[in-house]
Amino acid sequence: MRAEDWIRPTPQGLHVGPGDFYIDPVRPAARAVVTHGHGDHARPGGGDVLATAGTLAIMRARFGDAAGQRMQAAAYGEEVRIGDVRVRLAPAGHVLGSAQVVLEHAGTRVVVSGDYKRRRDPTCPPFEPQRCDVFVTEATFGLPVFVHPDDGGEVARLLASVARNPERAHLVGVYALGKCQRVIRLLREAGWDAPLFLHGALQPLCALYEQLGVPLGALRPVAGARREELAGAIVLAPPSALADRWSRRLPDPVAVAASGWMRIRQRARQRGVELPLVVSDHADWPELLRTFEEVDAPEIWVTHGQEDALVHAAGLAGRRARALRLVGLGEEDT
């Protein structure tokens, strides 16, 4: 049986017919498998939800009782049967709890990657390639221009700027889930032992990461800190705070953004970013192509992002490829 006979893109998301469930549905569904906790993949109001324990904890923290009526945690590698489909989860390396969904039915194996990256991340297990017949991939950075530099080098640029500007605060725009905690850990590994200051919106998920075994070191809220304390400090906040009145409490802040989109300098200029850091939680162009080789799938389906370029590249490599053009998946976690 061909994969397209039992797994189909629909307006609600990828539907797996023999198990009657959706993967990362965009609207509440009776049964769902969720790849990770970002808001464009995990949504409230569903019925049965299968995910890793980490993703379920994130969903509960974000959505409370609306996270799902019945939550089932599956460990990486554990097989769960849903209808006539065997399901297991494998590390995706994207954020804490993130998983690829490995589906087996009627002699065919389909792997739905969710979002993934191939770089080392001290906050979550690394991506593990799964050999399959069909690989369903994202394409957030699916253009040849996206070649991410070394993360350590980008963090070193931040620390060099801090050293050059001891009278200024460095305000780093990061997404609350994944990017924030990863940047914190990268700073700690680079030798920054001083307290890091957090916008209030980042505090709950940092606390959850620590509860789940990811140490982040000394963290302090910006609220209540004296202005002189923040001179020479590193402050983390949501990207929207870079241009918000909230930032006026900081001494002459250097606007910093950590995102794969900072590879496009025009984006940095449009957002008023003084120090763009290319730190991404998604695979870049060479890593996407390398992943196709490692999973050795004769067929590639592309869910969202720069679909057309990646479909073309997969075809040139002798693989059948198609764009699914799923709606509702965006840039929340770049």
Average pLDDT per consecutive 10 residues, the chain (334 residues; last block may be shorter):
94 96 96 97 97 98 97 98 98 98 98 97 98 97 96 98 98 98 98 98 98 98 95 97 91 97 93 96 98 98 91 96 79 53
* Residues 248/231, Cβ–Cβ less than 8 Å: no
Which residues make up the CATH 3.60.15.10 domain(s) of the chain? 3-145+282-323
Query: 321 to each of 135, 244, 305, 324, how far by Cα in Å?
Result: 10, 43, 15, 10
- Residue 278 CA to residue 289 CA, distance in Å, equals 20
The residues of the chain that CATH labels 3.40.50 are: 151-277
Residue 66 tokens read as 């609306």
pLDDT, position 328 = 61
The domain 3-145+282-323 is placed in CATH, from the list 2.40.110.10, 3.40.50.720, 3.60.15.10, 3.10.310.10, at: 3.60.15.10
Nearby residues of 67 by Cβ (< 8 Å), 6 or more positions away: 44, 49, 56, 59, 60
What pLDDT score does 12 carry? 93
The reported pLDDT for the residue numbered 324 is: 93
Fold annotation for 151-277: Rossmann fold (3.40.50)
Beta-carbon-side half-sphere exposure of residue 146 (alpha carbons within 13 Å) = 25
Prediction pTM value: 0.95
pLDDT value for 327: 66
Q: Which pairing describes strands 85-91 and 99-105: parallel, antiparallel, or unpaired?
A: antiparallel
Q: 102 forms bridges with which residues in the sheet?
A: 88, 111
Tokens of 16: 């797996």
Paired tokens of 206? 């940092």
Write down the pLDDT at residue 186: 98
- C-alpha to C-alpha distance for 82 and 95, rounded to whole angstroms: 25
